[in-house]
Amino acid sequence: MRFLAIGECMAEMSPSDAPDTYRMGFAGDTFNTAWYMARVAPQVSASYLTAVGDDTVSQNLMDFMQASGVNTRAVQTKADKTIGLYLISLDNGERSFSYWRGQSAARGLADDPDVLTQAMSDADLIYFSGITLAILAPEKRAALLAALSEARAAGKVIAFDPNLRPKLWESPTVMTEAIMQGAAVCDIALPSFEDEASWFADDTPKATAQRYLRAGAFTVVVKNGSAPVLYAEADKFGEVPVTPLDQVADTTAAGDSFNAGFFAGHATGLSLTDGISYACALSREVVQHKGALVDAVLPTLPKG
């Protein structure tokens, strides 16, 4: 199985244990998923499609990707650009972000249609997010969606996490319209109910799932914090329970690691429910540590 994630990886400043001090790493929603895929399913070829600058921090990021086992053949270099930066603030484990991404090279990741076509032709499972769409100019967003639609028609499996971040969009209307355009080109949708309820007025996780099914997805997995994960596949609905935690250190990559666990299960032949259960176990471990990318012993992926 060949896995391709598309999006932006940034320099991350996360709180350390010492007061008012931070440590620098690299992270970004779709990259986090690729990173965890490389950790828990090394038998899957995990690649990343993005763009970086030609400066030292961009080269450091490239070195980090390669050392992490994430293939960089689809990474483009943009002259006189750099990568974005974000800082995490924590309040009882819940995070908020401050961003600096005006010169981010990743905004040009969809500039070259040939790069998109080649990268997608080399993949079996292709993953993008609402943040991937948000950082692109409208015409480049349309180009990416068109390439994804063509890849889907060619038999590739397309997965999408709406990952609603209103601060990245010019208006809520533009955001919700673009999210549903993304939904229309995917086979697998991985929304989070809290966000969907806020911006689409869904009453229940089932309502969220039904909306993505109507948009064109075949499989929908609705994450809902500590509540059961609801899944829908065609006309079949079900739930997978979530084991609650007494204390959470950092929720930064909760959804990203969940997605990695789910994709790893999909790639290695787990059933839908077993894949969701493993995704929950992986996310549960990750949120007990600070930072997006957790250097800890992670749950072993069951055999399919």
- Supply the residues annotated as catalytic: 256
DSSP annotation string for 44-111: SEEEEEEEE-SSHHHHHHHHHHHHTT-B-TTEEE-TT-B--EEEEEEETTEEEEEEE-TTBGGGGTTS
Spacing of C-alpha 57 from chain mean position: 22
**Which residue's entry shows tokens 């993505």?**
212
Amino acid residing at 132: T
Question: Residue 108's CB: how many other CB atoms inside 10 A?
Answer: 17
Spacing of C-alpha 226 from chain mean position: 19
**Which residue's entry shows tokens 């990886």?**
9
CB contact set of 302 (below 8 Å; sequence gap of 6+): 265, 270, 274, 278
Per-residue tokens: 31: 């990259």
The 3-class SS string of 216-264 reads CCCEEEEECCCCCEEEEECCEEEEECCCCCCCCCCCCCHHHHHHHHHHH
Backbone angle region of 230, left / alpha / beta, with phi > 0 → left and psi within -120 to 50 → alpha: beta
Spatial contact of 234 and 218, defined as CB atoms under 8 Å apart: yes
Helix (H, G, I), strand (E, B) or coil at 29: helix
Polymer length in residues for the chain: 304
